[in-house]
Structure 1
Amino acid sequence: MAILESAAHLRATDLVTPADAVTDASKGAISARLDRLPATRAIWKLILLLSLGFFFELYDLLFTGYVAPGLVKGGILTATTTGLFGTSGVASFIAALFGGLFLGTIACGFLADRFGRRAIFTWSLLWYVAANTVMAFQDTAGGLNFWRFVSGMGIGVELVTIGTYLSELAPRHLRGRAFAVCQTIGFSAVPVVAYLSYLLVPRTPYGVDGWRWVVLLGGVSALFVWYFRRNLPESPRWLASKDRLKEADAVLSRLEDEVARQYGKPLPVPGRAEPVAHKAGFADMWKPPYRKRTIMLVVFHIFQTIGFFGFANWVPTLLVKQGITVTSSLLYTTVIGLAAPLGPLLGYWIADRFERKHVIVFMAAVNIVSGLLFSQVASAVAIVTLGVLLTLAGNIISFTYHTYQQELFPTAIRARAVGFVYSWSRLSAVFSSFVIAFMLREFGVTGVFVFIAGAMALVIVAIGLMGPRTLGQSLESISH
């Protein structure tokens, strides 16, 4: 024990011996040094750069529901489908996105573990920007869905990588708030894309369909973020997990020096260096303690997606189905969308105060009640009020589980494991989009929200009964 504690006070280069003598304790010293860093401008700068990227990921992910009325109006898609798995309706467009997300997360999540957080973070952004640009010029349901699928693959890889990257760069005392800020900035994309859709989708500026402008504006803007993010450092934790301790120390030393200048006094002494698993693979996800966590998160993701995207992707179409015009539907949705960043912003004050699992369970209950009431109201005030509650609950759940799932697996397989469990939400969304279209046609808006309520009840059961506690613990201690 004394050896481990003293190791935490050394720089990684002091611990490095030949490659075959690299110890778990020396890797743990890197994490201990990171976790003791105070929340200075240097730390928040990294968080903000990652958050800007997340803004455009969510813009591209969530414009689906907002441009759907324009796709229907333009005759490319239909609001409902004649068969359960029809390929010409809005459901097929949504399914194509989540099909790509599923493949990107389950088959490509390992890339960030193999090649590094920074490289995959950069290239996946360029991938989905290019695919969405091509998609914006499609005139058939087949072409539209194919390129939405391709862009979904890039977004899927990016979403896994950014969560892993952020969890490893943020000190443990700041981890929950870092995700809250990241998601606050990210979900600011909701009112932006909603307002742009309100302005553009019903119109054809310069003879070009409005929905195409919405898609293209997101891609062009994302390229500016790519430019600013190119100087992000590699994750020292990832470098250490690959036995590249000299590089990890160099990256971390630069960050420590910058933090120390801003802090104005000596940095806190690192805590005890937790041992870090030397190597881990896919099979380790199915061994204690990870097996229970893997099963819990798979069940959670299958059903949380129904609640979150069942509302976010379908609300304009649901309102139109209730007899509200496309323009009015998009106006209501824009107002509701203003609440999107408020969920994680409110969560900033609870992120590192309450257990993640308890927050998820409570907000899932709020989702159930608000959704069932939403299906029964018709006035503008009631629609907007309940829509805001649904948005707040869904987005608080989102930033909380993004923090939570990153904490439950070791660095060596974090991106791969999170990609695997997260991929089930994408597979669920593929099928649930068709089920929601079927429920909407057969049972109306009420049937849709009864279906969503049942899914959120299963979220409560899974997280409430199987979720471990993680608040205030280091990533390494949670992994043992």
Structure 2
Amino acid sequence: MAIMQGTSRLDDAAGRALTDAPAIADTAGISARLDRLPATRAVWKLVFLLSLGFFFELYDLLFTGYVAPGLVKSGILTSTTAGLFGTTGVASFIAALFCGLFIGTIACGFLADRYGRRAIFTYSLLWYVAANTVMAFQDTALWLNFWRFVSGIGIGVELVTIGTYMSELAPKHLRGRAFAVCQAIGFSAVPVVAFLSYLLVPHAPFGFDGWRWVALAGGVSACFVWYFRRNLPESPRWLASKGRFDEADAVLRRLEETVARQHGKPLPEPGPSDPIARKAGFADMWKPPYRTRTIMLIIFHIFQTVGFYGFANWVPTLLVKQGVTVTSSLLYTTVIGLAAPVGPLLGYWIADRFERKHVIVFMAGVNIVAGLLFSQASAAVMIVTLGVLLTLAGNIISFTYHTYQQELYPTAIRARAVGFVYSWSRLSAVFSSFVIAFVLKEAGVTGVFGFIAGAMLLVMLSIGLMGPRTLGRSLESISH
């Protein structure tokens, strides 16, 4: 019987895997075996490890807005620009980061498809930690922006890799919740960096500018690289897409054994699944059904960035422009920052209950209303309340679209395709940072939030009219 099982081939149409077979017969078996795994500690541990990497990544990504007042105070940058594309203002610092993110996502997203999710996850983390450490010792706008650009490349690669990695390891029945937990842990970096900025940016501990201490604090993530490397397996879906079935089977067997032991009873039989695409290239993104998805996500990313980073990166500066002191603005943003991980935690309860596209559209509407009200607020309570609401809406959109975009492409090109469409958000952020600085100078805070509202309306239209449904479906069925 064992010999017969070992030599049997699985039916491609049904896509069923025999859990006690000594080898994988087809790629559909990999997908089916992953998707039937119950949510045990072993599965959530993988989610936690990726989430911990996301925490350090977001720390380095989001400290931009919080250290901006310190960079202005130290005389390295100015709060506004001399012209639309001036290189000595806060806008140039934000633009440098997003230029790096653009290169990292559009030009380097293929790395995770070629060399594997695990390797690129760890090496890109080391890259941006090293670059930010060097940046913390710069005294001129030119070199400050250069090293922020270099770190942005590593962060861009990491962003794409983590999302791809997460979508391929999480079973379909908890994929949305896995992303919600990942984002909740990741966005807990926001109150951390906000509080550190509140403590350090207005001062110069040991004669060293406070903003430099904030930048250096993110380097602690390098100490965790060995832990990530040791405990994260390679994606079985990626291994199968490369024809490395024995390795994929070995990874899955170890995971299945641990899950079954924790589950306390035999694992359910794998259900039907479509096979994992083994060959695909850049051109496939422009063929049905992916062409419409690609166009939709490009439009979405161009404009969602305006709403998300337009608030996250500019809120301390916007508050100062409204007459709030630097210290008070950092205190307000610290309180607002406490809400950052709450958005995904709230989203945990809706992640696998409501269609992703509907959640994105609704929260974009909330962003529009809260933003326009924020632009008119002057009382501390109203500023903080609306700031919290904007943060919640933005972060629910964030974890939802990170799940959504990973579901829309096949394994063979998932990182490359998501990197390509995601890169448009980085390109958008480069220009929108200058536009926001210009609008802030010419039309004030009200003008900035009017600009953001228009962008979020286009987000609602693109996703609402062009987005497919994905809830509860396997990655492979969505890709066919």
* Other-structure match for 2:6: none
**C-alpha deviation, 1:319, in angstroms:** 0.4
Contact 2:15 2:271 in 1 (8 A): no
**C-alpha deviation, 1:8, in angstroms:** 2.3
Give the secondary-structure state (helix, strand or coil) at the position aligned to 2:23. helix
Contact 1:12 1:30 in 2 (8 A): no
Q: Distance in 2 between matches of 1:450 and 1:15?
A: 55
1:367 counterpart letter in structure 2: N
Q: Deviations over 1:418-467 (max 9, x none)?
A: 00000000000000000000000000000000000000000000000000
* Other-structure match for 2:228: 229
TM-score (norm 2): 0.97
* Other-structure match for 1:202: 202
Q: Distance in 2 between matches of 1:65 and 1:152?
A: 15
Q: Distance in 2 between matches of 1:418 and 1:315?
A: 28
Q: Distance in 2 between matches of 1:14 and 1:425?
A: 42
* Other-structure match for 1:130: 130
Contact 2:347 2:396 in 1 (8 A): yes
1:5 correspondence with 2:14: yes
* Other-structure match for 1:119: 119
Give the secondary-structure state (helix, strand or coil) at the position aligned to 2:276. coil
Q: Deviations over 1:192-218 (max 9, x none)?
A: 000000000000001100000000011
1:401 correspondence with 2:401: yes
* Other-structure match for 1:37: 37
Give the secondary-structure state (helix, strand or coil) at the position aligned to 1:82. coil
Q: Deviations over 1:162-187 (max 9, x none)?
A: 00000000000010000000000000
* Other-structure match for 1:78: 78
1:405 counterpart letter in structure 2: Q
Q: Distance in 1 between matches of 2:11 and 2:329?
A: 64
Q: Distance in 2 between matches of 1:473 and 1:334?
A: 39
Q: Distance in 1 between matches of 2:286 and 2:18?
A: 34
Give the secondary-structure state (helix, strand or coil) at the position aligned to 1:234. coil
Q: Distance in 1 between matches of 2:243 and 2:24?
A: 12
1:261-280 matches, cutoff 5 A: 261-280=261-280
1:188 correspondence with 2:188: yes
TM-score (norm 1): 0.97
**C-alpha deviation, 1:5, in angstroms:** 3.0
In the alignment, structure 1 segments of 5+ residues that lack a partner are 17-25
Give the secondary-structure state (helix, strand or coil) at the position aligned to 1:258. helix
* Other-structure match for 1:375: 375
* Other-structure match for 1:312: 312
* Other-structure match for 1:21: none
* Other-structure match for 1:444: 444
In the alignment, structure 2 segments of 5+ residues that lack a partner are 1-9
RMSD (Å), alpha carbons:
1.1
1:91 correspondence with 2:91: yes
1:223 counterpart letter in structure 2: A
1:334 correspondence with 2:331: no
1:55-74 matches, cutoff 5 A: 55-74=55-74
What number of residue pairs does the alignment pair up? 470
**C-alpha deviation, 1:190, in angstroms:** 0.3
Q: Distance in 2 between matches of 1:475 and 1:257?
A: 23
**C-alpha deviation, 1:227, in angstroms:** 2.5
Percent identical:
81
**C-alpha deviation, 1:3, in angstroms:** 5.7
1:420 correspondence with 2:420: yes
Contact 2:16 2:32 in 1 (8 A): no
* Other-structure match for 1:149: 149
* Other-structure match for 1:161: 161
* Other-structure match for 2:302: 302
Contact 1:282 1:413 in 2 (8 A): yes
**C-alpha deviation, 1:324, in angstroms:** 0.7
Give the secondary-structure state (helix, strand or coil) at the position aligned to 2:72. helix
**C-alpha deviation, 1:12, in angstroms:** 6.8
1:465 correspondence with 2:470: no
Q: Distance in 1 between matches of 2:253 and 2:71?
A: 52
Change (3 A) 1:434 1:408: same
Change (3 A) 1:379 1:11: same
Q: Deviations over 1:247-276 (max 9, x none)?
A: 000000000000011000000100013122
